[in-house]
Amino acid sequence: MGKNNSSINLMSQGSRQEIKTQAIILATFVAIFWLLEILDQFVFRGSLDNFGIIPHQVIGLRGILFAPFLHGNFPHLIANTVPFLILGWLVMLQETSDFFIVTGLTMLVGGLGVWLFAAPGSIHIGASILIFGYLGFLLLRGYFQRNIPSILLSILVFLLYGGTIWGVLPSRPGISWQGHLFGFLGGVLAAKLIATEKKHYS
């Protein structure tokens, strides 16, 4: 009986530590978003936005790394903060490491897609490229992994955020639908690659 209790205590401690780690990761990302926007508004007067993705210009490629952390104003940042936290945590739900794989692929695929296909002279910024990547990953994870937890999670995300998917289509000026579209595709690619890796090691 004592061994069983010890095992349960170790598992609960491990779960608490995992949740703490996930919270720290998400809080760090959001803190970077907010710190950069505060600096941009009050110190750099909006000039940090120039580090976003600038299509068809070599210097604009740096935006693949920087654009998801930059925002046009505080309403833009506020609108992205909550879905980033919710969807980002759901990405971590099975394995925390999935978050970094999905984030990296989304930034790369989404950023290159914007750089190649968006209008010349425009600048693209915002964490929505990541948000749509997480959405694509979560919606297609159940299809690629084909296990009950993943399928249930995909259904839950569809019920909560399914309507958001229309953001991948051309919309009002000032909205980077290309970032949404290619970010989403980056998330789908991540779902397929992670599912393939899990099958390989199972």
**Distance (Å, rounded) from C-alpha 143 to C-alpha 121?**
38
Q: Is 0.85 topped by the overall pTM?
A: yes
Q: Exposed, middle or buried: residue 34 (CB in 10 Å: 0-12, 13-18, 19+)?
A: middle
The hierarchical CATH code for the domain 1-199 is: 1.20.1540.10
Nearest to 108 by CA among 56, 57, 53: 53
DSSP 61-72: GGHHHHGGG--S
pLDDT band at 9, cuts 50/70/90?
A: low
Q: Where are the domains of the chain?
A: 1-199
pLDDT tens-digit map of 137-184: 999 999 999 899 899 999 999 999 988 888 888 877 778 899 999 999
- Whether the per-residue pLDDT at 3 is higher than 60: the answer is no
121 or 9, greater pLDDT? 121
User: Among all chains, which residue has been given the structure tokens 């995909």?
Assistant: 154
45: left (phi > 0), else alpha (psi -120 to 50), else beta? left
Query: Which amino acid is located at 171 in the chain?
Result: S
